[in-house]
Amino acid sequence: MMEEPQTPLEGMYSEWFLDYASYVILERAVPHIDDGLKPVQRRILHSLKEKDDGRFNKVANIIGHTMQYHPHGDQAIGDALVNMGQKELVVDTQGNWGNILTGDSAAAPRYIEVRLSKFANEVLFNSKTTAWTASYDGRNQEPVTLPAKFPIVLAHGAEGIAVGLACKILPHNFIELIDACIAVLKKEPFEVYPDFPQGGIADVSEYNDGLRGGRIKVRALIEKVKAKELVIREIPYGTTASSVCDSILKANEQSKVRIARIEDCTAQNVEIRVHLSAGCDADQTIQALYAFTDCEVSISPNSCVIQGNKPHFLGVSEILRHSAMRTRDLLGQELEIRLAELEESWHFSSLEKIFIENRIYRRIEECETWEAVLNEIWTGLRPFLRMLRREVSDDDVARLTEIRIKRISKYDAFKADELLRNLEKQIAETKRSLKQLTAYTIQWFEGLRVRYGKGRERRTKLSAFDRVDAKQVVVANDTLYVDRKEGFAGWGLKRDEAVCKCSRMDDIIAFSRDGTMRVVRIAEKVFIGNDNLHVAVFQRDEPKIYNMIYRNGRAGKVMVKRFRVEGVTRDKLYDLTAGSPGTRVLWLSEHDTEEEANIVVRVHLKSDLKLRNFQIDFRFASALIKGRSAKGIILTRHPVDRVVRLSKAEQEEIEERFQSSIASA
Selection from 582, 30, 51 nearest residue 308 by Cα = 30
Radius of gyration, CA atoms only, the chain: 41
d(CA 283, CA 567): 32
Contact 157, 171 (CB under 8 A): yes
Q: Helix, strand, or coil here: 135? A: coil
**Residue 615 is inside which H or E element, if any?**
strand 615-619
The three state secondary structure string of 179-221 is HHHHHHHCCCCCCCCECCCCCCEEECCCCHHHCCCCCEEEECE
The number of beta carbons lying within 10 Å of the beta carbon of residue 663 is 7
Backbone conformation region of residue 257, classed left if phi is above 0, alpha if psi is from -120 to 50, else beta: beta
- Looking at residue 29, the DSSP 8-state letter turns out to be I
Helices 413-435 and 316-357: crossing angle in degrees, nearest 10, is 150
d(CA 302, CA 79): 22
Selection from 323, 353, 336 nearest residue 448 by Cα = 323
Pairing between strand 558-564 and 625-627?
parallel
Q: What is the largest CA-CA distance in the chain?
A: 157
Beta strands, E only, 448-564: 461-462, 478-483, 488-490, 497-502, 507-512, 516-521, 526-527, 532-538, 545-551, 558-564
Contact 587, 622 (CB under 8 A): no
Selection from 223, 214, 217 nearest residue 201 by Cα = 217
d(CA 389, CA 425): 15
Alpha helices in 100-148 (DSSP H): 118-123
Contact 54, 115 (CB under 8 A): yes
Alpha helices in 25-109 (DSSP H): 39-50, 59-66, 74-87
For this structure, is 290 an active site residue? no
- Looking at residue 8, the DSSP 8-state letter turns out to be -
Task: Name the catalytic one among 111, 136, 411, 550.
Answer: 111
Rounded to the nearest 10 degrees, how much is the dihedral formed by the CA atoms of 565, 569, 570, 574? Answer: -60
Residues 6+ apart with CB under 8 A from 267: none
Residues in a beta bridge with 519:
509
Selection from 289, 230, 235, 296 nearest residue 257 by Cα = 289
What are the catalytic residues?
111
